[in-house]
Amino acid sequence: MIRKLSELVDEVKKESTKNLVVACGEDPHTIEAVGRGVSEGVVKATLIGNRTKIEKVAAEHKVPIDSFEIENESDTKKALIKSVELVRDGKGDALMKGLIDTSLYMRAILDKERGLLPPKRVLSHITVLEFPTYPRLLIVSDVAVIPYPDLFQKIEMVKYTIEVAHLLGISRPKVAIICAVEKVNPKMQPTLDAAVISKMADRGQIKGAEIDGPLAMDVAVSKESADIKGLKSSVAGSADILIFPNIESGNVFFKTGTRLSNAKLAAVVAGTTKPCILTSRGDSGESKFYSIALAAKLSRSS
């Protein structure tokens, strides 16, 4: 079982090298991350964007320009469309966002005719976090794409995260459906959704994991809190996966973890035909590098 993101990198290095396509990779963090990914044998890479800008940034940050191929396209939208086309046509195993607005990036992925989202699939976001204070990786969803997931979307989020957990070597991940309380409250829709998902798992409608909810955040990651509250749960205190009720709670958790608890992260979009890396503009080069490694790992199952 992979417990650290550095271990994920080591595992990816043992596998066949995947091809990464970067849309508008003209910013320092992206170029540094891609350069590191190539130098460590995690991926091969093609950057599509303004060649002059790419070469300038690479030189300034001492990234060997021969680390990757460059296809010159100074028009941002055209560069993005070309990047998506390469991945869709099988010439790339994963897509990465460079210096381009997230809204444009997501719109290209969602394009019904030329995008990467199959019909009737749910587009979601998965972040893998490594906390110095927690003994295992935490796989969380959704902190960036779905504002207020309904029951169907939450079920898909659960399935996506279970798939990621399995690829990380967690044979039977423990999934906590996060709510404000542990009791089902008819006036709190997230608790009702959590109860339904938990019962579906009990009856084999969702396979490959232990699922419990509603669970509050403290109970999900602290056995002591569960014991104090008298809560009996096979998931409590040792969750591998956290499913958040809305984007606010997920995003606050994610940013609090990275900014105040020194958590490391890797992030991708789920539900697409190929892994699509989606990190925040404020994320470090290290985060982007780990996201590249995660995408390379996930491309095995796409």
Which pLDDT does position 284 carry in this prediction?
83
Per-residue confidence at 279, pLDDT binned at 50, 70, 90? confident
Which pLDDT does position 281 carry in this prediction?
67
- Whole-model pTM above 0.85? yes
**Mean per-residue pLDDT for 131-150?**
96
How far is Cα 132 from Cα 141, in angstroms, rounded to an integer? 20
Calculate what percentage of the chain has a pLDDT beyond 90. Answer: 95
CATH of domain 5-120+272-298: 3.40.50.10950
CATH 3.40.50.300 fits 124-260, yes or no: no
Which pLDDT does position 280 carry in this prediction?
73
- For the chain, the structural domain boundaries read 5-120+272-298, 124-260
Residues ≥6 apart with Cβ < 8 Å to 146:
122, 123, 124, 125, 153, 157, 247
Res. 67: pLDDT tops 60:
yes
Per-residue confidence at 183, pLDDT binned at 50, 70, 90? very high
Q: In the sheet where 138-141 sits, what is the strand order?
A: 69-72, 43-49, 18-23, 94-97, 276-277, 264-270, 124-130, 138-141, 241-243, 174-178, 210-215
**Mean per-residue pLDDT for 47-67?**
96
**Mean per-residue pLDDT for 21-25?**
95
Res. 282: pLDDT tops 70:
no
